[in-house]
Structure formats: C-alpha cells, structure tokens
Amino acid sequence: QVHLEESGGGVVQPGGSLRLSCTASGFIFRRHGMHWVRQAPGKGLEWVAFIKYDGSIKYYADSVKGRFTVSRDDSENALYLQMNSLRTEDTAVYYCAKDYGVFGTGGAFLDYWGQGTLVIVSS
C-alpha cells in the first residue's frame, strides 16, 4: 500500500527558509519521479516541482524557480523541497505526489498523494 507523508511545514518570516520532507513507502521509490504540488488557502492546485526517478532532471514552476530546490535520497525513500527567499504568496499546503511512470520523465499522472504539510509565510 502506497503511503506518502509530508513534514517540515510551519510558520516562517518573509525572506526565510524552510525544508519540507516527504517519506514514501509501499512502492519502489527509486523507480519513480516525484512531484510537489501546493494549494494556497481557498485556492486551486499549483504544481511546484518535479524530480526524475534518478534525480537527473528537475523541473520547476516559474513562480518558484531560483528559490526552491527539489532533491531526493533513495536510500531513505525521501523527497525534499528546500524553500528559500520565502514570500507571503508561498503560503499553502504542500503535497508530495508520486508520478505513475516507471523510469519516466514526468507528466501529469500523479497516482498517489500525501496529506500535505502547511507552510505559512508571515511576519
């Protein structure tokens, strides 16, 4: 049974940093790309970042490019999102999601999602 669990959310001041984690179980983590998707309070879903199964390709939304970095540790079955230079508009629930493709290069096929972790950027 696939399980994804995010952690690391909290309250941070504008300009600050935060590192989110996502631990995965129930599937062969190293064979799948992983996504971060966020949802601002009362708003829709916004894709944030993707990392290929082997970490060789990373894609970012324009809104976070240059500020956020996605990474993974296959030995720990873990996905990370390092968020720097945070802005108030980054306030959201951040979800990690598994990409369906085995050894894939990314897509919109997100077959499992975690429950999310809330990040609040406020002074």
Partner 1 sequence: QSVLTQPPSASGTPGQRVTISCSGSSSNIAKNNVYWYQQLPGTAPKLLIQKNDQRPSGVPDRISGSKSGTSASLAIGGLRSEDEADYYCAAWDDSLSGPVFGGGTKLTVL
Binding site for partner 1 (CB under 8 A): 35, 37, 44-47, 50, 59-62, 95, 100, 106-116
- What's phi and psi for 90, nearest 5 deg? -85, -5
- Nearest distance from C-beta of residue 27 to partner 1, angstroms: 14
Buried b (16+ CB within 10 A) or exposed e, 45-84: eebbbbbbbeeeebbbeeebeeebbbebeeeebbbbbebe
Hey, what are 103's tokens?
């050894």
3-state SS assignment for residue 110: strand
Query: Smaller CB distance to partner 1: residue 12 or 37?
Result: 37
Nearer to partner 1, 5 or 74 (CB): 5
Q: Cβ of residue 26: shortest distance to partner 1, in angstroms?
A: 15
Q: How far is the CB of 74 from partner 1 (least distance, A)?
A: 22
Nearer to partner 1, 27 or 113 (CB): 113
